[in-house]
Each structure stands twice: as C-alpha cells, then as structure tokens.
Amino acid sequence: MAAMDDIVRQAMAKWPKVPHCVGWLGLDARGNWYLRDEQAQAQGPFAGGPAQARGSMLQHDKLIAFIGRNYDCDDSGQWYFQNGPQRVFVELEITPFIWRVAADFSVDAHTGAAARVQRSFVDEIGRVYLETDIGFGLVHSLDMLHAADAIETGLWVPQAVKADALPTQFAYCVSPQALQAAA
C-alpha cells in the first residue's frame, strides 16, 4: 500500500475527531471512482442498483491519484479514502482492488500501486481474481487476455470460488453504508 500523504497525516493529528463519511464514494468493477451525492444515494445502492445510483464518475487525474495514495482498509474490512482528517468509506461494486495486468504479467492496482500475485481465483462466470501482497481484487475486463495467458502458461493456477462468498473469504465489506445503517 502506498504511503499516506504527509498533509493527510498532519490534518488527522490536528483534527482527530472529524466524523466519518459513508455512501459518498464508490469504486466500480473497472477501477473508476464515483462521487455519489444525496440524489444518487437516494436512487439505491452502488452495487446492484440502477445506473443513476452510481453518481458522477471522477475525471480529475490529480484527485484520482490523491484518492489512490490515501486508500486503505480498517480492521473491519471497510475500505476508505482518508481525505485529510475525514475518513470517506468506499462503496464497492465488487472488490477493493481492480487489477491491471500487463503483457509481461506485471500487476498494478487501480490506485497505481504495483502488486505481487500470491494466488489466483476464478468464479462461476469466469471472472478472474488475484490475491496479492497488497490485497484482493478483480482483474480488469480489458486485461483478461493477459490473465488467460498467465493461466495457460501455468504462472497462475486459479482456484474455483463463488463470487458471493468473496467478501467473507477475503474479509472486505462491499457496502460500509449498509453495514453502518444496520448497526
């Protein structure tokens, strides 16, 4: 995981009791970040909800990079972006990381962080997942050819998994908003 920005650490020390934010940020299965205002949230859940529930896809490269550098997970498996002193929990469409796989089989997260593959998995509809030294995630749909090559060469030997069991198996929360609403 990339080191958190110094400015974020300083803000956390200066304002340690800023309330957390839930429901306002989403990560889709292609590694895109979405800002979810109240209107988007009112349309339904990020994962499995209607298209308008996603909100607005972020386009600003520097903001996307800042989120990626300050993306982390708490002890209960909820992923968040540390925005200064405020923790902004992320609604996941599927997994906490989306992997980009290059022709040489190197793997990078949607955040830009390099990762080393430890194990691979395939679900009931053929999606490929990787467990790496920085976390668990889905292989980006545009990189399935490289993933197939890694499997054919024997570099990755995927284990079968059920998609709906992944959050429990890999200890991550798809919807912090739903979890916190239920508490």
* Position 2 pLDDT exceeds 60: no
Cβ neighbourhood burial of 170 (10 Å; 0-12, 13-18, 19+)? middle
CATH number at 50 reads 3.10.540.10
The tokens of 138 are what? 């889905």
In a domain, 1, yes or no: no
Please give the Cα distance from 139 to 133 (Å, whole number).
15
Full domain range(s) for residue 156: 97-165
User: Do 129 and 103 have their domain in common?
Assistant: yes
Reported as a single tens digit per residue, the pLDDT across 77-99 is: 999 999 988 999 999 999 999 99
Distance, in Å, from the CA atom of 7 to the CA atom of 43, rounded to the nearest integer, reads 34
Residue 84's pLDDT is what? 84
**Same domain assignment for residues 71 and 90:** yes
The number of distinct structural domains making up the chain is 2
Query: How many Å apart are CA 143 and CA 45, to the nearest integer?
Result: 27
